[in-house]
């Protein structure tokens, strides 16, 4: 399986470990149309890659993936059918990440927000730089947390905590995220690669199919939940994209001012 043709990912290999690096067209690896398209197929391509048994997913530069790109937001607000047109791919990002049998370690090198946080949290083991932050601030830009956040956050930290973070959009620092069970480990920057390598070695030390299929059966309830929730989640997110407060919320964040919300 070729991994050529990607513009928002780069790939490298070390033995049977393949590192997929999110490499956006902006400093925080914000999701634009091209990245969204590639996210919908990359995990399927990685599943079929014959040269790897384990995937490390990380981000280039100072961020992992800081959510939607604001220029892309503007396009979707101006032309709501552009949001509608990504609905199928939005589901596939979540389902393909749960479907891939190979273990996926998230090397959380920096900020993960919105869809970036969803992707990180759907990985099998999340190891973060202690300076990283993670959160799902969909509501702050006027959107329903419909791209998987409402699915995975409650499963990791319970409904009370999950609703607090999803409804406020607050970000957590990595040590706090590890403390409450949202991620696995938060380590000093200098130790991040060593901790990821240590975990990869542990996973590769066991028989391949035992590891892969243990992941498969563990993910089965999550896949059932996704099947129940994602159509509704994406539909509500599409509706929120057409609300008047959506455009105002985006403008306010961009201009770094309080939003003048009308409730519409």
In order along its 264 residues, the chain shows pLDDT tens digits of 579 999 999 999 999 999 999 999 899 999 999 999 999 999 999 999 999 999 999 999 999 999 889 999 999 999 999 999 999 999 999 999 999 999 999 999 999 999 999 999 999 999 999 999 999 999 999 999 999 999 999 999 999 999 999 999 999 999 999 999 999 999 999 999 999 999 999 999 999 999 999 999 999 999 999 999 999 999 999 999 999 999 999 999 999 999 999 999
Could you tell me if residue 130 is inside a domain?
A: yes
Q: Can you give the pLDDT at residue 2? A: 75
Q: Can you give the pLDDT at residue 1? A: 57
Cα–Cα nearest to 138, from 95, 171, 160: 171
Give Cα separations from 32 to 139, 151, 155, 247 (angstroms).
19, 22, 28, 17
Could you tell me if residue 159 is inside a domain?
A: yes
Q: Can you give the pLDDT at residue 203? A: 98
The domain that holds 129 is classified in CATH as 3.90.226.10
Could you tell me if residue 158 is inside a domain?
A: yes
Could you tell me if residue 263 is inside a domain?
A: no
Could you tell me if residue 73 is inside a domain?
A: yes
Q: How many domains does one find in the chain?
A: 1
Q: Can you give the pLDDT at residue 199? A: 98
Could you tell me if residue 215 is inside a domain?
A: no
47 CB burial (10 A radius; 0-12, 13-18, 19+): middle
Estimate the share of the chain in helix, then strand, then coil, as percent rounded to the nearest 5: 55, 15, 30
Domain range enclosing 42: 9-208
- Give the span between the Cα atoms of 241 and 134, in whole angstroms: 23
Helices 87-99 & 208-241, crossing angle to 10 degrees? 160
Could you tell me if residue 155 is inside a domain?
A: yes
């Amino acid at each position: 399986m070729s991994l050529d043709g990607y513009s928002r990912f780069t790939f490298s290999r070390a033995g049977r470990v393949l590192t997929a690096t999110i490499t956006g067209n902006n400093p925080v690896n914000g999701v634009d149309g091209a990245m969204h398209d590639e996210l919908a197929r990359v995990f399927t391509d990685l599943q079929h890659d014959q040269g790897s048994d384990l995937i490390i997913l990380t981000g280039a530069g100072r961020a992992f993936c800081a959510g939607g790109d604001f220029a892309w937001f503007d396009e979707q607000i101006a032309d709501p059918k552009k949001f509608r047109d990504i609905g199928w791919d939005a589901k596939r990002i979540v389902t393909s990440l749960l479907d891939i049998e190979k273990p996926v370690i998230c090397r959380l090198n920096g900020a993960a927000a919105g869809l970036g946080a969803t992707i990180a949290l759907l990985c099998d083991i999340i190891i973060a730089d202690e300076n990283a932050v993670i959160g799902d601030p969909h509501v702050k830009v006027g959107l329903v947390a419909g791209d998987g956040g409402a699915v995975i956050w409650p499963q990791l930290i319970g409904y009370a905590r999950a609703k607090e973070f999803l409804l406020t959009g607050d970000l957590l620092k990595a040590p706090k995220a590890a403390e409450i069970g949202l991620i696995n480990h938060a380590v000093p920057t200098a130790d991040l690669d060593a901790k990821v390598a240590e975990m990869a070695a542990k996973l590769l030390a066991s028989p391949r199919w035992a590891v892969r299929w243990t992941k498969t059966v563990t993910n089965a309830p999550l896949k059932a939940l996704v099947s129940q929730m994602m159509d509704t989640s994406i539909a509500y997110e599409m509706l929120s994209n057409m609300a008047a407060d959506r455009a105002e919320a985006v403008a306010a964040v961009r201009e770094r001012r309080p939003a003048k919300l009308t409730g519409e």
